Structure 1
Amino acid sequence: RNEIQNNNILPLTGNAFTLYQGEPLNLTPTESSEVLRVIQSLKFKLSCGVDEIPSKVVKHCATHLAAPLVSIINKSFNLGQFPSGLKLFKIYPKHKKGSTTKAENYRPISLISTFSKIIEKIALSRMLVHLEHYDLITKSQHGFLRGKSTISAITSLTEYVIDQLEDNNYVSAVLLDYSKAFDCLGHELILKKLSALGIQGRANDWVASYLEGRKHIVEVKKTANGQSCTYRSKTAPVNRGVPQGSVLGPFLFVLFTNDFSHYINTDNVKTIMYADDTTLLIKNDSTLGL
């Protein structure tokens, strides 16, 4: 697996997208019925963001929360501003293995507000309608898209290999691993990519507001002598990347790499992508050619 540490090496736009002539994305208003559906779709969890309100509580109070959430979300879309109070998230280090005194043996888990997830899901639904209507998402991508999954990615890979073997070709696979893929993306470049896909104007401003001005804290829980204590760090700014643990973050990465296959695919190369996992399938009629 080849590590690519500079995630901003991808081209800014592909020819397939610079020709986009459709209407720009419109973040249309939501209503109570949609908010209630989104709340019910949330996983039943006790983990929560800095506000300490888990999805379990939100789901239980859904009918009371729907109307105020509609007002907040519609105002957010209309102004092109993501609520600043939802930009703070917490990270807790989860022990993986080995010594508990070594930082490298912990995996950071990001937790964002349940209310942020609700707003993001509604914004994502509008983005998907726009992108699917204009057929702007590459067929090579299988991650975080309706009707696509790891199964569709594996099926695509298997069918391609079988087809080539039946044609007496050889196939080699190159697996790409982007180092810290979600953490290293520059916000300005993300926004330019989105603009090339018709996410422009107020919708682009909203995504910019969603990405910028974020902060995080680190939370550690310790139990000693039968008592549990929680320790929190000071807030620290997050100036790059997409929010981990979020709804929109992974999808923004998908859109950032949307034109990758446009530059890579040839008669002899096929790209299969699942979010930041990318496989290049290379065919040739001889092993020497590979």
Structure 2
Amino acid sequence: MQKLTPWGPDFLAEISYGSDTDFTLLEWVFGSSGRRVQLTAMSQFTSYEILDDGQVRYTTNGMDSGTPWQGMPEEVTVRVLGDGDGVLAPGWTEIEEQRETVWLDPAQPLYIGASEDGVPAFSGRYEQVYDARMDADGLSFSFIPNGDSEEKFTSFFPAVTTIPGFSTSYDPDTGVFTLRLYNTCLSSGAPGTPLNDDLALMGYPENLYPYAFPAGSLGRDSHFLTGVVIREDGADTVVTAQLTEQAYRFTVETSNLGYDNIPSFRLVFREYNRDLDG
């Protein structure tokens, strides 16, 4: 056990297992009965606080304990259902949680992707941009396997598909925001490639390869971004944009356009909000 915080007759326990102290979880312990309720998965907490009986707000750095993946930071409020004697009804869930959108400063660097010992690790997964476009409030991207070889194609599918690792940076002198998509190309494949043979069974268009997404401008300027350009840079794809004065914060939303074969994500920007930002 890492830490025990009393709250009336109850306790909030931060617990680690074995010799791994990098990741811990939170449990609520009822002093009246000894009932223990797990509130979180194994995480790296940046803060947590008790709000009320059985109610805790916590934040994490987004590191996944099950896979070496650095995700978005989290802000969650979790509440125990029931009391020291048990849940509200047999078979009912023990907790309910509310996840808040985490808004980041675009001037601060961000890395999302594979990680080893907290350090970015650019995996052997190869991807290709399927679509990239301007939205009213940001940018959207979707991805397919790299079709240059069977090895690169199959690297897309270990366990589950996911977006490529990426990083963001900002140059305060020029106002340029840069997104780098690692191991990601704009074009791949060749006419007559055998990779086209089974694509329909996998949910892709027939004769997908060769496929190319054009380098250059992503279209007209938006409320938050101007001069958006996409290009290849070695093994990576890079997107640059000029941030407008309205681009105060941004977040990342991930999804999948197919069953599990076209991962996608959005960068969503917003203006300064007095209620959120003080």
TM more than 0.5: no
The structure whose residues are more often strand, as a share, is 2
More helix by share: 1
TM-score between both structures, scaled by the size of structure 2: 0.22
Task: Identify the structure with bigger relative contact order (alpha carbons < 8 Å, sequence gap 6+).
Answer: 1
- TM-score (normalised: structure 1): 0.21
